[in-house]
Chain A
Amino acid sequence: MQKVFSRPEKMRIYRRRIFYEMEALGLNSIGLTAIISVFIGAAITLQMAISLESPFIPRYLIGYATRETMTLEFSSTVVALILAGKVGSNIASEIGTMRITEQIDALEIMGVNSASYLILPKIVATVFFFPFLTILSMIIGIIGGYMIAALTGIMIPADYVEGLQYCFVQWEVTYSLIKIAVFAFIITSISAYCGYYAKGNSLEVGKASTRAVVSSSIVIMIFNLILTQLLLT
């Protein structure tokens, strides 16, 4: 870990690599995040509309419930789990392959601190970019809910919109963004570690990549509880 954060040798090269990684790890995850979010937003709204079918419960609570679920949990924690699968396995197998094909040795021979050169840009890129994915997921999820309300007519869209504005607490969004930044760090560092210390052949790289996804998912769940306890109570 200390090796990762030692002073970068040439800032210019690092900046270029950070932008490259933002594209590879962040921009390329927009599609997946958007698709899953729109469907989950729609599903939550649909489920709520069906199960809250009672004259005593105001309909706008459906919009409220969708918003809360998306902001508090889905757009940070669940999106992080999905990204752990996509980005985590990508990082672990990329770095693992570089290890077994001696690309890491080649960097070391050039006097590069390979851990810092390969891993730091990925950490910086994901910690900065993933929060945007979370914001995107919130917006798209809420739109998904609106669309399903409008399409199926299961509730009046105006009620939904009213619910969205009900009791809005800015802090909940901030809380989610803090969470995703921490999760981004967890995903990238654990996956990079698994790849960096891969040994042997392609079988080992496969295992390293599985290990990366499993370990980072578990650590994410634990930190979700810790952060919620710290930030929301």
Chain B
Amino acid sequence: MIKAEHIVKSFDGRTVLDDISVEFDAGQTNLIIGRSGSGKTVMLKSLVGLHEVDSGTIYYDDVCFTDLDFKARKRIRKNVGMIFQGGALLDSSTVVENVKLPLDLFTNQSEEEKMERVNFCLRRVNLDNAHKLYPSELSGGMIKRVAIARAIVLNPRYLFCDEPNSGLDPQTSIVIDNLIRDITEEYNITTIINTHDMNSVLEIGEKIVFIYQGRKWWEGSKHDILHADNRELNEFVFASAMAKRAKMVETTEDGHNGRRAKQV
């Protein structure tokens, strides 16, 4: 569980996050949605402490993260995995070295144990034949997969994903989405995903928080997002033709299952 209470973050006097309070539970995929520039990335980076919040508190389970110093945060970070928007793989290291780095840093395992874990994680993300390649030799989807493998290599309890499927083709997007959801359920991780992709929202949005002009504007799940009574949210949601169709199908068939609607 991760909880934010009244967090405020501004840059040079411009408020980006304005008094946001929200709770994300473990074992489900929590989504933060909003238009680009609405502050999703800032929100995610504030939650992990890459940005210091101006005020407000953040809890990781029952630990108050905001009060901790660098050392104590480091202990929590051992349990945190993060997937950055561009993957953020180290350019000077191969796929295997990238995935192995957290193990090198945090564990005293032998080289065989580490390699076993690395191979397991790479297999988990369906990446079996890229071990010796450098990030510049990978496609966008492969980079995202390596990033996921690196994020889960230490068995994190908290997983943060910043637009995990931006820049990917629809098919790969779904694969990545499902991968993240499966891992979340399998290991009971508290997962928070930034996205503006309605596909993902309707597919894996077990809890959805809509951010608009730096405020939390709406929260709910994929089941109620199509019927929400909120003008800004509706504008965001139905900007996508796919969501429009999904709603049409739902109302004509009188269905109420987001997944069912999506398959049409």
Are B88 and A105 in touch, CB under 8 angstroms? yes
Are B84 and A102 in touch, CB under 8 angstroms? yes
A-B CB contact pairs (8 Å), 25 listed = A10-B104, A10-B105, A13-B104, A13-B105, A97-B91, A98-B91, A101-B86, A102-B84, A102-B88, A103-B88, A103-B90, A103-B91, A105-B82, A105-B84, A106-B84, A106-B89, A109-B50, A109-B80, A109-B81, A109-B82, A110-B106, A111-B73, A111-B77, A111-B105, A112-B105
Are A105 and B50 in touch, CB under 8 angstroms? yes
Binding site for B on A (CB under 8 A): 9-10, 13, 20, 97-98, 101-103, 105-112
Are B90 and A111 in touch, CB under 8 angstroms? no
CA distance A112 to B105 in the complex (A): 8
Number of B residues whose C-beta is below 8 Å from A? 23
Give chain A nearest CB distance to B138 CB in angstroms: 14
Given known contacts A13-B104, A13-B105, A102-B84, A109 and B48 CB-to-CB distance under 8 angstroms: yes
CA distance A97 to B84 in the complex (A): 15
CA distance A102 to B161 in the complex (A): 13
Given contacts A10-B105, A105-B45, A110-B77, list 5 more A-B pairs with CB under 8 A.
Answer: A97-B91, A102-B84, A103-B91, A106-B88, A111-B105
In the assembled complex, which residues on chain A have CB atoms less than 8 Å from the CB atom of B78?
A: 111
Q: Is the interface of B mostly helix, strand, loop or mixed?
A: mixed
Are B88 and A111 in touch, CB under 8 angstroms? no
Given known contacts A105-B45, A105-B50, A110 and B88 CB-to-CB distance under 8 angstroms: no
Are A111 and B85 in touch, CB under 8 angstroms? no
Give chain B nearest CB distance to A54 CB in angstroms: 57
CA distance A74 to B89 in the complex (A): 40
Are B84 and A110 in touch, CB under 8 angstroms? no
Give chain B nearest CB distance to A209 CB in angstroms: 16
In the assembled complex, which residues on chain A have CB atoms less than 8 Å from the CB atom of B89?
A: 103, 106
CA distance A97 to B89 in the complex (A): 12
Give chain A nearest CB distance to B36 CB in angstroms: 15
CA distance A20 to B93 in the complex (A): 11
Could you tell me which residues of chain B, from 45 to 98, have a CB within 8 Å of some CB in chain A?
A: 45, 48, 50, 73-74, 77-78, 80-82, 84-86, 88-92
Q: B140 in the interface, Cβ–Cβ < 8 Å?
A: no
CA distance A223 to B137 in the complex (A): 43
CA distance A107 to B101 in the complex (A): 9
Give chain A nearest CB distance to B207 CB in angstroms: 23
Are A106 and B82 in touch, CB under 8 angstroms? yes
Given known contacts A108-B50, A109-B48, A109-B77, A102 and B106 CB-to-CB distance under 8 angstroms: no
In the assembled complex, which residues on chain B have CB atoms less than 8 Å from the CB atom of A9?
A: 105
B73: nearest residue on chain A (CB-CB)? A111
